[in-house]
Structure 1
Amino acid sequence: MEPKNYTLISEFLLLGFSEQQDLQPLIYGLFLSMYLTTVFGNLLIILATISDSHLHMPMYFFLFNLSFVDMCIISTTVPNMLLSIQTQSKAMTYTGCIIQIYCFALFACLDNFLLAVMAYDHFVAICHPFHYMVIMKKQLCVLLVLVSWITSALNSLLHSMMVLQLSFCTVVEIPHFFCEPNQLFQLACSDTFLNNMVMYVTGMLLAVCPLSGILYSYSKIVTSICATSSRQGKYKAFSTCMSHLLVVSLFYCTSLSVYLSSSVTQNSESTAKASVMYRVVTPMLNPFIYSLRNKDIKRTLNPSFKRETIIVFFGLSIEKHCRA
């Protein structure tokens, strides 16, 4: 029996949101602004956690990793879409598509695990405050992040290898703004039953386990807060968790809407629009939520903005004086 050729095509065509030319400048400007806002916002949090010694704590170590992952997750899809609009070329190479699937699966899974790790950190801080520094040692924090990276990398490698087993007999058009595995399964010539099974089983395991940990942690946190007699203590504990609760709600609500929309309707355009909330809007809003709700981050960023403003002002003044 002759071996089957699994790479009969050399490229995919990403159709994006709309083929109407008059809408392309609007889409380009909207996504460029969201991308720059996401990168700038998350970069500020990263720089704040590095520069301020007061933020060298487990909570901000996890926030540092979450901000880095948010920058990476939007960078795997949006820059390529912006480039395709600018060059008016919808083609993406077969290799590029596989790399995009791997990177996106890696960072999406990491987002999931990091939110669970941060929930555990809040649980220890509120329910066991006197043992917090003993439990959340540097070695444990690094281990939790390392395990998250390794698990996510293995999961994304599995998905990429499963996609490599598919055969595509003709030039395929993907009605999406990136190489979405579900769309590839629908366009494949070979049997995709195993691919779908692996995707849903691993998706359920890697989503349900962290979510269960988050729900358990916050159930214990709520119980501990209710048992606190001090009104000020309740407010402080609640405000500590508020930013993370908002991010968790945003992450799971948007991701759930994507999967529900893809299972309920076969309209690829609707699925692509729903994916924007999960893959673009959520990483953009996370730094705003943390910076607005977190006093330590605001305290660190405010002097930075003042120094930056002074540097820019004097730089422009010197430049103007030299020209004169």
Structure 2
Amino acid sequence: MTTERLRHLTTLEGLDRATLTRLLDRAEAIRRDGAPRDLLAGRTVLNLFFEHSTRTRTSFELAAKRLGADVVNFDVALSSTHKGESLLDTLHTLEAMRLDALVVRHREDGTPDLLARHARSAVAVVNAGDGRRAHPTQGLLDALTIRQHRPDLDRLTVTICGDIRHSRVARSDVHALATLGVGEIRLCAPPALQPQPAEFPRCRIFDDFDAALAGADVAIMLRIQKERIADALPDDGAYFLRYGLDARRLALARPGCLVMHPGPINRGIEIADEVADGPQSRILDQVANGVFVRMAVLAELLGR
């Protein structure tokens, strides 16, 4: 992609460094200085979530409202999709109401791209998470959080641990961090939850969490995507013993290692309370940055 203004945001894969940096700089400027509360006055943003969400849906709603846009939260449970209406018919029906942006979360990979391709209007499509493929605004907010605390990205070692195979967050994080020039990216998971190495050519893949964490500057923990796993699930207690982040394991990382998690957290399974709530945790920073990043994305796509 070029550094021209974005039309949609469905993935970070293929996005150039200049564009990524521009979005992060804009989010940081909004965090520091705020943004005009009428920037998106007269614009309408519709949240179209086919999967449950707390952080992403709420932060998109706050982001749009803080920029002056009108926001509609589409209730899929009460919609005509339950009467057999196709996704594209739903799209065109909503377009006829003159929307400016459609924020989409869906269980199927590629759904936001499908909507962007078939849109008949100038509506901007933002991916709020599709299947296990991409979660671009999460990748941006994670990159922003790391950059705020460790700006020397080319010297960092970032370890991502958990259910990598089914994680759209891991994919978007890797796309963002690799493009921004992070020195080393490590992925750690049990063999059954590891990705195909060809998916992540820039990453080192581990099944030993202690080894993956040794000397790391950032540890990003992921939950097991139980809703996407067809095979037998790992036992929670056994999983924590091998792949849970507790104080002992955190001591293997570099002093001051940032602890991150996209949420929702399963305490005592992927992370211990003492770490999730400890002084190195940046989990709530991620939540706060989610609003600033989504403001930056909506301003980029819709700002006049």
TM-score with structure 2 length normalisation?
0.26
Task: Identify, as 1 or 2, the structure richer in helix.
Answer: 1
Task: Identify, as 1 or 2, the structure richer in strand.
Answer: 2
Q: More relative contact order in 1 or in 2 (CA 8 Å, sep 6+)?
A: 1
TM-score with structure 1 length normalisation?
0.25
